[in-house]
Structure 1
C-alpha cells in the first residue's frame, strides 16, 4: 500500500472511530455522528480505490473479500443511520450504537489484516 492510501485509510479509521465511539458514549445517535460515518466511508472508499489502482483491481484474497464486505456494511450503516434520524425513531436512535459497533469491529478486520498477514509471513520466513 502506498503512502497516500495509508494516510487516507488512517484518516478513515480516525473519523469512523470518532463517530462510532462518540455515539456509544453519548447513548444516542446524532446528526454529527452520521457526518463522521459518511466521512469515514468516503475516506475508506477513496483509499480502497487507490489500492485497487495499485493492485490492478480487487483480489479474491481474504483481505479483498472482507474489505468489500466492510465497505458494503459501512454504506448500509450510513443509509440506516440517516433513515433513523430522518424518521426520528427514538427507540432506534437509542439502540443504533449496537449496529455501529458491529460494523466498526467488522471494518477493523480488513483494516488490520495486512498487518497480521505481514507479521505472520515474516515470522514464518524466519523459521
Structure 2
C-alpha cells in the first residue's frame, strides 16, 4: 500500500506541475490545464487517503506519529482543499471566458502549487528519516 501511495502522490506532483507550469508558460488558462489540475487532485487525494490508512494502522500498532507526520497531515489536508478550490475556480474562469482573468490566473496556480509542495516535501523527509 505504501508503494501505491508514493506513486499516487508522485503522479500528483507530475500532473499538477504540468498544469500549473504549462499555464504559466502559455500565459493563459486553457481547459486542458484544468484537466491536469483535476488529475493532480485525484492522484493526491488517492495518495493521501492511502497514507492516512497507513498512519491509522501504525497508530493501532502503538507507533506514535512524529512531528513531520503531523505537519504532513495538516498541510496535506489544506493542500487538497486548496487544490479543489483551485480547480473549481479554474472552471469558473474558463466558463466566464474573460481574457484578463485567464491571463492572471497563473498567480493563484503558482501559490497553490507552492503550498502543495510543503506536505510533499514533509512526506519525503518523513520517509527518509524513518
TM-score class, shorter-chain normalisation, is 0.7 to 0.9
Matched, 1:73 2:82: yes
C-alpha RMSD of matched pairs (Å): 1.9
Q: With the length of structure 2 as denominator, give the TM-score of the two structures.
A: 0.85
Count of residue pairs the alignment pairs up: 120
SS at match of 1:28: coil
- List structure 1 segments (4+ residues) > 6 angstroms apart after TM superposition: none
CA distance in 1, matches of 2:22, 2:91: 16
CA distance in 1, matches of 2:103, 2:84: 20
CA distance in 2, matches of 1:90, 1:76: 20
**Pairing 1:55-74 to 2, within 5 Å after superposition:** 55-56=55-56, 61-74=70-83
Give 5+ residue unaligned stretches, structure 2: 58-64
CA distance in 1, matches of 2:30, 2:101: 11
SS at match of 1:29: coil
Give the C-alpha shift of residue 105 in structure 1: 0.5
Q: With the length of structure 1 as denominator, give the TM-score of the two structures.
A: 0.87
Give 5+ residue unaligned stretches, structure 1: 123-127
